[in-house]
Amino acid sequence: MVNKKSGQRKKAEKQRERQKQIGLGRINTLELHDHPSNADMECRDCLTRQKNRSFCYFCSSLPKNIMCGACGKIKCIPGSSDCVIKHPGVNATGLGIVGAICDFCETWICHSKRCLQSHACSCPLRDGENPVVCIECQRSVWGHGGKMYLCPTCDQWLCEDDHFEHQASCQHLETETFKCVSCSKFGTYSCLRCKVSYCDDHVKSNVYKNTEEGYPCKKCGYRLRDTKDLSMSVKTHEFGRQGYEDEEYSDEDYYDEEEKSY
């Protein structure tokens, strides 16, 4: 005879599995382009394309079709036992499916019990207790209207305004040569976040433990990569809207110059 699992045991197993996925970094490897919390949305009033959010970033109006940031549905069919708010005989749409607003991705969460319980822990735009922040402009999801991206090189968060410029200038080293930071030998391993290289003798660290994936960086603990497998450069190219250091030179002046060039 098979022993049936109690509800408390099922809940504890789901919680352990969710914590295991968070520890393995599954949340950071999600397809952000297809995830409902980072999907495209067009405002019906100002016709501006932006990230899926509870209110328009530019005119603060409600979206035409409210999409759940966890499951992606825009309509709730009656008869579902998972709904916290019952609506027998009526298809819930718009504000009728709303159960909460996520504090991290700023999207509507439907009144499904599963979405309300699990989205706060598994939100892909969450970094600890705070929303993710762009590494270039230090803006969170609440500070701009665009989508969020992950840099494939350094695995840092980027906003929609800076992700192209960052990826174009990310694969470079801060030093003028590929030598190790501790000696003059060739840096066999490179850190894609600190932009430094280590030789075979100085790659081992007493602070961070070595894992099966590779050696960790001594400064940040990020996994090191083989320099020969990377297209790293020692030249730094500053361009784009983040390349101007003049305080009087704003982003609007940069975009005005682009329009004049065309």
How sure is the predictor about 101, in pLDDT bands with cuts at 50, 70 and 90?
Answer: very high
Give the per-residue pLDDT at 246.
53
Query: Residues 87-94: what's their mean pLDDT?
Result: 86
By CB atoms closer than 10 A (0-12, 13-18, 19+), residue 10 is exposed
Per the model's pLDDT, the better-predicted residue between 159 and 154 turns out to be 159
Secondary structure letter of residue 25 according to DSSP: T
Give the per-residue pLDDT at 253.
53
Write out the DSSP string of 115-149: HHHHHHHH-TTEETTEE-B-TTT--BGGG-SS-EE
By CB atoms closer than 10 A (0-12, 13-18, 19+), residue 211 is exposed
The most confident of 61-65, 235-239, 247-251, by mean pLDDT = 61-65
How many Cα atoms occupy the beta-carbon half-sphere of 243 within 13 Å? 10
Average pLDDT, the chain: 79
Widest CA span in the chain = 78
How sure is the predictor about 262, in pLDDT bands with cuts at 50, 70 and 90?
Answer: very low
pLDDT digits (tens, 9 = 90+) for 196-237: 888 888 887 766 666 666 788 888 888 888 877 776 666 555
Token pair in block for residue 123 = 């939100």
- 């290289």: which residue's tokens? 197
Query: Residues 8-17: what's their mean pLDDT?
Result: 82
Per the model's pLDDT, the better-predicted residue between 143 and 2 turns out to be 143
Give the per-residue pLDDT at 254.
47
% of the chain with per-residue pLDDT over 90:
8
Answer yes or no: is pLDDT of 71 > 80. Answer: yes
φ/ψ region of 169 (left if φ > 0, alpha if ψ in -120 to 50, else beta) reads: alpha
Answer yes or no: is pLDDT of 260 > 80. Answer: no
Answer yes or no: is pLDDT of 252 > 60. Answer: no
pLDDT digits (tens, 9 = 90+) for 102-140: 999 999 999 999 899 888 888 888 888 889 999 888 998
- 């706060």: which residue's tokens? 120
Token pair in block for residue 62 = 């409600």
Query: Residues 180-192: what's their mean pLDDT?
Result: 84
By CB atoms closer than 10 A (0-12, 13-18, 19+), residue 132 is buried
**108 near 98, Cβ under 8 Å?**
yes
Token pair in block for residue 163 = 């992700």
How sure is the predictor about 192, in pLDDT bands with cuts at 50, 70 and 90?
Answer: confident
Total residues found in the chain within this entry: 262
Residue 191: strand, helix, or coil = strand
Per the model's pLDDT, the better-predicted residue between 132 and 23 turns out to be 132
**129 near 140, Cβ under 8 Å?**
no
